[in-house]
Amino acid sequence: MQGPHLVYFADPMCSWCWGFSPVMGEISQRFGAALPIRLVLGGLRPWTREAMDQGDRANVRGHWEHVHQASGQPFDFGFFEREHFVYDTEPASRAVVVLRRRGMPTGLAALRRIQRAFYAENRDVTHIDTLAALAVELGVDDAGFREEFASDAAREDTRADFALAQACGIRGFPTLIAGEGGDKPYDLVTHGFQPSQRILAMLDAWSGRTGQPAAPGAGAGESCALH
C-alpha cells in the first residue's frame, strides 16, 4: 500500500482487540480515505486443540473483566458456562481473510461482526455454521462462503497473515502502525489498548508531519517491511 496508511494487526478472538474496536471506528470516521487501514490477522491462538480447563477460564475471564472496565465494551459472561470449548482462533481469522477478499472495508466489517458475535452475543465463532451466518449478514452467499472457507487457498492466505505478523515482530494485539509504504519505515502508534483520545492525537500529529514518529514515547522508530 502506497501513501500514508495504517496497518492494524488484530485477532477476532482477542479481547483487547474487541475493546479497541470503537477506537478503530473513530479513526475511520476522523480520517476516512485519507488514512486507509490495512488489516492483518495476527494469530492469537491458532490451531489450539485442547479444551479450556478451569485455570484457562479464570485467566480469560480476568482479561475480559479488565477490557470491559477499560473500554466499556459489552461482554456476555455466559461464555464461561460452556463446556469443552476449544479456544482456536484460526477459523474466525480465516473467515475474516475470506471476507477481506471483497475489499478491505468488508474485512474490517467482518472483524467487527465476528468480535461482537463472540464477545457480546456468546456465539461460537469457531464453528462454520456461525461464521457462515455472519457472512450472510455481510452480504455474502452462504454456499460460496463455505466453499471458500474450506479451500486450501484460504488456509494458506491465513497462514500468510500470521507469518507476516511474526516477521514484523508483532507479539501482541492490538498493534497499530503507520507508514507511507515503499522502503520507508513504519512508526508504532500503539502496541496494546489505548483510549481514542490518545490514539487520535497521535495520528493527528503523525499525519501533520508524515514520515515522523507518531508521538514521543509511542515506540517510534520500530520498522517493518510491508509490501
In the chain, the percentage of residues whose pLDDT exceeds 90 is 87
> What local confidence, expressed as pLDDT, does residue 1 receive?
78
What pTM was estimated for this model as a whole? 0.92
Q: What is the per-residue pLDDT across 88-98, written as a single tens digit (0 to 9) for each?
A: 999 999 999 99
Contact yes or no for 73/23 (Cβ under 8 A): no
Query: How far from 129 is each of 7, 124, 132, 134, 158, CA to CA, in Å?
Result: 30, 9, 5, 9, 19
CA 67, 70, 72, 73 torsion-angle sign? negative
> What local confidence, expressed as pLDDT, does residue 223 receive?
44
* 3-state SS assignment for residue 103: coil
Contact yes or no for 77/64 (Cβ under 8 A): yes
> What local confidence, expressed as pLDDT, does residue 2 receive?
82
Q: What is the per-residue pLDDT across 165-216, written as a single tens digit (0 to 9) for each?
A: 999 999 899 999 999 987 788 999 999 999 999 999 999 999 886 544 444 3
Q: Which residues contact 100 (CB under 8 A, 6 or more apart)?
A: 39, 106, 107, 110
Per-residue pLDDT, averaged over 148-174, amounts to 96
Grid cell 450472510 is found at 136
Domains of the chain: 5-208 (3.40.30.10)
Higher pLDDT pick, 183 / 22: 22
Judged by average pLDDT, the poorest of 59-73, 81-95, 177-191, 210-224 is: 210-224
Stated as kind and residue range, the H or E segment containing 92 is helix 90-100
